[in-house]
Structures are given as C-alpha cells and as structure tokens.
Structure 1
Amino acid sequence: MPRLTHDKTTWLTYAQLGLWGFFLYGFGPVVPLLRDDQGTSAAVAGLHSTGIAVGALLGGALFAPVARRLGRGPAIWLGLAGVAAGVAALGLLRPLPATITAVAVIATFGMMVVSGVNVVLVAHHGPAAPAALAEANAACAGMGILAPLVIGACVDAGLGWRPVMAVEVGLIALVALAALTFRVRLPKAARYDNSSSARLAPRSDLEPTAAAAAAHRDGVTGSTARLPRAYWIAWLLMAVTGSIEVCLSLWTADVLRTHAGLSAGGASAAVAAIVCGMFAGRLAGGRFALRWRPVPLLLGALTVSLAGFALFWSAPVGWLAVTGLVVLGLGNALHYPLAISIALAVAGPAADKAAGWSSYSMGVGFGIAPVALGWVADGVGPHLAFLLLPAFIAVALLLTGRLGRALRAPRPADEPTDDPAPVPA
C-alpha cells in the first residue's frame, strides 16, 4: 500500500488550491448580490459564469507554455498573483463589462493554479497521488464552506460583499508570506517516472504507460508527446462529472423551493450541504485512495452519487432532500480527484500539457451543461429537468468502464521491457 507523506510541499499546494476554492465556491452567493448592485436580470448576471468558462479555456491554453518557460512552482505563484489582481478588480469595479472581464481574468489564472497543483502533487507523490489530490480538493471544498460564511457575515454587518474580495487577497498574501518564512519552494519540474501510473492499474494493463515510457526513452518532450487514448477518456469523464457539479451548484436551490417546500433563503443555505458532503468525502477518500485502485473507487463514488440524487430528487420534505444532498456530495467528492490523477499519470512526459487540456473539460462543463438544463427547465420545470443528472451519472459510469478497459489494453508484443511482474488487480 502506498504511503502519503505530508511534507512542506504538500501542505503548501493544499493551501494554494484552497485559495482558489475560496473564490470558486464563494462566487455563487456573490452573483445575486452583484446582480442587485448592477440592476441586471438573472440571465445577464449569468454571463459571469460564461466568463469563468472562457477563463478556464484560456488558463488551460496558457499553463503548459508558462510551466515550460518558468517552471511549475513559479507558474502556480503567477496564477495566484493573477487571481489576486482579478479579485481586487472585481471588488473595485462596478460596470457589467468590467466585472465579467475581471471574473474571466480570475478564472484564467485560477486554472493555472489548479493545473500546477495537480501536476506537482502527481509528480511529488507518485503512487499516493490519488490520495494527495483527494486531500487537496478537500482543502478546496473546506474553503468553499468558509467563503459563504464570510460573505454572509459581511452582508449582515452592512458592509456588502466587496470586502470579501479583500479577504481573498489577504489570504493569498498570507500564504505567500508563510512559504517565504518557512522557505518552502515548489519544484520547477520533475523527471518523468512511470511508477505513479503503474499503480493506477495492473502493470501489464497499462498500454498508455508503455507508450509514455517509450516516448521518454526516445527523448520526446512534454510539448510534443502524444496524449494516450486513456487520457481522452478521462478528459470526457471530467467534462461529464464537472457538468454534474455545476448544474447542482446553479439549480439545486430551485428544486428545493419548488419540490421540497423550502423558503428561498433556506434553499440557498441548504446548497452548502453538497459542499459539506464533498469536504467529508474527500477527507475520507484520501484514505480509501491508498487502499483501492482509482477505477473501482470511481465506480463506487458514482454509485453513491446516484443513490444520493435519488433520495434528493424524490424527497417531499426539506430535511430528507438535504440528507440526499449530503450523500450526493460524498459521492461527487472523488469524481474529479480520481479522474485527474489517472489523466496525469497516463500522460507521462506530457503531464503539463495534459493538465492544461484538462481545464478545457471544466470549460465545457461550465459552459454547456447549465444552459442545457436551463433550457429543459423552461419547458418542464426544474424538478423534472434535473433528471438530466442521473443521465450524466450513467454516462460517467460507462466512461469509467471504458477507462478501465483502456488501462488494461495489452502492451505491444514487440516492445522490450525490464518491468517487474504484473501487480494483481
């Protein structure tokens, strides 16, 4: 069983991803307040989500060349500096075009942070990377619980939501100061080592690992190496599971009001149950990821999500629906950490490029799925429209099965190898 070591590098990357989570999960409650400030409709205010999707695409395109030129660690710090600048602009500016632009800037640099943290943890922890990524995303979700509380406290104190942007900038500065004080330096790059992907499935089942190892032997660089089929299956999986998460974030409150009988305020607060479930699931999932291989664990997580959705969707009363949301969050907790750990491990020397491309999957999820669900909801109502989510989960289950088969694909018979005997499944 691999062992997860919590050294200074690990804690620093957890904190860096948590800083992004503070904005990401706090921005949802800010949108209605921003809409009130600007006097716009809900549809127009929703353009800020489009800004996040556009920023995710830009950040994905920028990460690989920036990491290649500056190094992974400096790319993460550059990302956080960009997030701080964008957040400051969002807190100071009021016109709609300016706030949408600020959100796009934040998302662009935020995706650089996410990509950098992912590749650093995979390279740093090898076989224990799925557990490390689960814990890092637990830190992200934990900050996501804190952010709405800070926003609510500022609003109740009559300060509005804008001072919260100063809190984000202050937290980024605090983490940077701590890293400087304790002399924690993130690695600029890491020599490719296929040991991490060797633990994701039985060694004889890793055609992508064989291709990646051959590319490394032949001197293929990360910018020219081809991403294997297993990576693109994982990419699609991240797009589908990301669609589940963003649809829940944007539309759950409507279902709680129309079907479970909660008030508008109670429904908005109850959405935090999903994040609480994700926080707990990622903390526990880090332990499970050390004992179970990612593909079976991902199948189990998707099954838990399906059970949680069934309870939430069918519940006629608020407390039962909220219980379903907690269970749903427990399952959703491991979707992204496991999928990205597989994607980066099979990418081999192209890990930086793979991390950048993974941001595109988030952009697809954020940009398309909520619009599709909203279009259906206009016709049949939000409760019936939410039946798209179990369809997404079913597609994710099918993709996970395909991913498992891709990881078990036979290695070319003519490839020389000195690898040890296969590890049992």
Structure 2
Amino acid sequence: MPRLTRDRITWLTYAQLGVWGFFLYGFGPVVPLLRDEQGTTTAVAGLHSTALAAGALLGGLAFPYLATRLGRGRTNWLGLAGIVAAVAVLTLFHSLPATLTAALVAATFGFMLVNGVNTTLAEHHPVNSPAAISEANAACAGMGILAPIVIGLTVGAGLGWRPAIAVEVALIVAVAVAALVFRVRLPANIPATAAADGPPRRLPRSYWIAWLLLGVTGSIEVCLSLWAADVLRGNAGMSAGAASAALAAIVTGMFLGRFAGGWIALRVAPIPFLLAALAVSFVGFAIFWAAPIGWLAVSGLVVVGLGNAMHYPLGISMALATAPGQADRAAAYSSYSVAVGFGVAPVVLGWVADSVGPHLAFLLLPLFIATAALLALSLTRTTHTPPGVRKGPLLSPSV
C-alpha cells in the first residue's frame, strides 16, 4: 500500500503554508468590509484582488532568482517576513492606496512562499507529491477556517476586522520559534536536477494546458472568497458579520476535502480525480446559488469547498509533473496563471455585479467550472500513452 513519509521538513512546510492560509482566507471576507469602510463600489473593491494578482506575478518572477541564490529554505522565511510587513500596513493604515499596497506586498511574498513549499515537497516526495501537496494545502485550508470565524467574531463585537488579521503575525512567530526549538532546516540549495546546465528547455504543451487550468480554477476560488459574502447578505438574508464568518464553510469543506484528498491521491489518477472534484464544486454551487435561506446556502458552500479542495493541489502537481527537472521555473510560471485568475475574474464579476447584482453575476462560476473540465479532458488527450507503455503521472495514481 502506498505511504507518505512525513518528516520534520514536511511538517515545517505544512506549517509555513498553513500560516499563509490564515491570511489568504481571511483577506477575502475583509474586502466587502473594506468596500463599506472606504465607500467604494464593488468593482473598485475588486482591485484588491488585482493587487493580489500583481503580487502573484512579482512573486513568480522573484522566486527562481531568490531560490537559486538563497536556497528555498531562506526564500520561504523571507516570504513569511514579507507577509508580516504587509499585515502591519494593512492594520495600521485605512486608505485605499495603503490597503492595495498591503495586498500587493502580501501576495508577492506569499506566492514566493507557496512556490517554495510546492517545489520543496515535489522534490522531497518525488513519487507521492500530489498527496504531500494536498496535505500541505489541507494545512493551509485548516488554518484558513479560523480566519473568517475570528473576523466575524471581532466584527460582531464591534472591534472591526483588524485585530483578527493581526493574529497572522503571532502565527508566523510561532512557526519560526518551533523551527528553532526543533532544529528543522529546509534544503538550503537547489538540487542538481532543478539547476541543469545550459539554457532552460521549453516547457511542453501539456504544461501550458495545466497552466491555463490553474488560472481557471483559481478564478472559481477567488470569486467565492471575495464575493460569496455579498450573496449571503443579499440573497440569503444574513448579516455582515454572519456572512463573513460563514465563509469559513468553504474553507472547512476545503480542509476536509484536502485531508481526505491526500489519501485518495495515492490511489486515484490526478485527471479523473480533478474531474470528479469539479463535479462536486458544481453541485455545491447550485445549492448555494439557489438557496433562499442562510443555513442551506452555507451547506452549499461546504460542498463547494469539498470540490474546490483538490483543484489547486492537483493542478500544481500536474503542472510540475509535466516539467521534470524544471520545478522552480514551472512553479514560478504557475504563479502567473493564478495571477491572471485572481486579477481578472473578480473584477469582471464585480463589474457585472454592479449592473445586475452579485446573485446573477455569480452565474459566471458554472462557466469557469465547465472550462476547467474541458481543459482537464484536453490534458488527458495530450498525455495519452500507447498500449504497452507505462502511463504517465497524470493518468495513473502516484504509486
């Protein structure tokens, strides 16, 4: 039976991605509150997602350079330090330029960290990387469950959302202290396989299909993170605090899905697994969108989260699997795809929402789900293997 060995390096990368999850999943519920606080439109508030997207681009550009010169371990810690700086700006300043800058800085360093974690796990667990990356993202979602709940509690208590976001700094300090106490060091240098001599090889067509897939599935997740609270307020009659806290339902579903997904990924091929996950996302969205009452809409969000759980772990695992020996470059380019999804989709949805309302605007999401399914099927065709040839990593379980 396939097994995933979790050593101290594995657990540290899980913890690092987990603290980023607290910020990432906490920032989504903050955006509608920032819109109310700053008196902007939905489309203007959506520029915070554009700032996240620009940061993802910058993080993707910086990561290969920094990983080569500093090593992935130091690059990961630099990413966490940058997130601390972004949280300080976000909590101390109230103007739109300041909050947009904070989102940009957080995403730049956050996506450097994400790339570092993904490539570290992909090469530390070369056979079982889909399972390891899934579990790391389960840690990310697990910590992300707490953020909307804490924000909902502090908003409901009249304290606002800033004290909740400031908890991120304490979490990062705790991870750093734990690494010192247990003397855990991440790999300091790029492995030889990732720094081959000569000019970089062209990434294959299958990589670029996976690249597009990451952008589309990222669009699904970020639109829900930023604007689902508005639908809960307008269509399901929930208060602002309750709607913000209810976004924890998505992250709860993602945590459960990724926790179970690590086990399933050892036994089920990535592409069929992804198609099943997209189907679950569609069912959950249908429940959420049609529900006229809060508890039913929130139940739909849990189901959406179960489906969304494996979109990114499987997508990034497939992208890295199509580019052996080029993990850092493939991971960095994947940030660009995520950036496009983060930067374009929420702004388009916000623009449509300003015209027809958030509820109708959310009908864009089934289109994203269908597009992702078509890309996954296309990836199946590009990785088809003839009879008698061993199947590639996208068409067989990670065993």
| TM-score scaled by length of structure 2 | 0.90
1:225–1:349 CA contact under 8 A, matched in 2: no
**How many angstroms does 1:40 deviate by?**
4.8
**How many angstroms does 1:36 deviate by?**
5.5
**How many angstroms does 1:53 deviate by?**
1.4
Runs ≥4 residues deviating over 6 A: none
Q: Does 1:180 align with 2:156?
A: no
> Which moved further from structure 2: 35-44 or 226-235?
35-44
1:240–1:395 CA contact under 8 A, matched in 2: yes
Alignment correspondent of 2:76: 76
2:6 alignment partner AA: H
Choose 1 or 2 for highest CA Rg.
Answer: 1
Q: Does 1:311 align with 2:287?
A: yes
The verdict on how the C-alpha distance between 1:381 and 1:153 changes in structure 2, with shifts beyond 3 A counting, is: closer
Alignment correspondent of 1:295: 271
1:111 alignment partner AA: F
Match of 2:318 among 326, 330, 342: 342
**How many angstroms does 1:329 deviate by?**
0.9
The verdict on how the C-alpha distance between 1:123 and 1:49 changes in structure 2, with shifts beyond 3 A counting, is: same
Alignment correspondent of 1:395: 371
The verdict on how the C-alpha distance between 1:180 and 1:396 changes in structure 2, with shifts beyond 3 A counting, is: same
**How many angstroms does 1:282 deviate by?**
0.6
Give the distance between the partners of 1:107 and 1:399, measured in 2 at CA: 26
Between the aligned residues of both structures, percent identity stands at 67
Alignment correspondent of 1:189: 190
2:12–2:184 CA contact under 8 A, matched in 1: yes
Q: Does 1:355 align with 2:356?
A: no
> Which moved further from structure 2: 139-148 or 367-376?
367-376
> Which moved further from structure 2: 157-166 or 136-145?
157-166
Aligned residue runs from structure 1 range 96-245, under 5 A: 96-155=96-155, 159-187=159-187, 188-192=189-193, 219-220=196-197, 224-245=200-221
Structure 1, residues 176-228: CA drift from partner, whole Å, max 9, x if none? Answer: 121122111111323439xxxxxxxxxxxxxxxxxxxxxx9xx555x612211
> Which moved further from structure 2: 244-253 or 401-410?
401-410
3-state SS of the aligned residue for 1:291?
coil
Q: Does 1:283 align with 2:259?
A: yes
2:288–2:296 CA contact under 8 A, matched in 1: yes
Alignment correspondent of 1:382: 358
Structure 1, residues 139-170: CA drift from partner, whole Å, max 9, x if none? Answer: 11111111223334444565543334442222
2:340 alignment partner AA: V
**How many angstroms does 1:404 deviate by?**
1.5
Give the distance between the partners of 2:376 and 2:2, measured in 1 at CA: 23
Q: Does 1:271 align with 2:247?
A: yes
**How many angstroms does 1:32 deviate by?**
4.3
Give the distance between the partners of 2:354 and 2:32, measured in 1 at CA: 20
Number of corresponding residues: 392
The verdict on how the C-alpha distance between 1:190 and 1:408 changes in structure 2, with shifts beyond 3 A counting, is: farther
Alignment correspondent of 2:5: 5
**How many angstroms does 1:81 deviate by?**
1.3
The verdict on how the C-alpha distance between 1:263 and 1:162 changes in structure 2, with shifts beyond 3 A counting, is: closer
Alignment correspondent of 2:228: 252
1:189 alignment partner AA: I
**How many angstroms does 1:263 deviate by?**
4.2
Q: Does 1:408 align with 2:384?
A: yes
**How many angstroms does 1:77 deviate by?**
1.1
Alignment correspondent of 1:17: 17
The verdict on how the C-alpha distance between 1:268 and 1:378 changes in structure 2, with shifts beyond 3 A counting, is: same
The verdict on how the C-alpha distance between 1:239 and 1:143 changes in structure 2, with shifts beyond 3 A counting, is: same
Give the alignment's Cα RMSD to 1 decimal. Answer: 2.4
3-state SS of the aligned residue for 2:17?
helix
Alignment correspondent of 1:372: 348
Give the distance between the partners of 1:352 and 1:327, measured in 2 at CA: 33
3-state SS of the aligned residue for 1:126?
coil
The verdict on how the C-alpha distance between 1:312 and 1:297 changes in structure 2, with shifts beyond 3 A counting, is: same
Give the distance between the partners of 1:257 and 1:38, measured in 2 at CA: 19
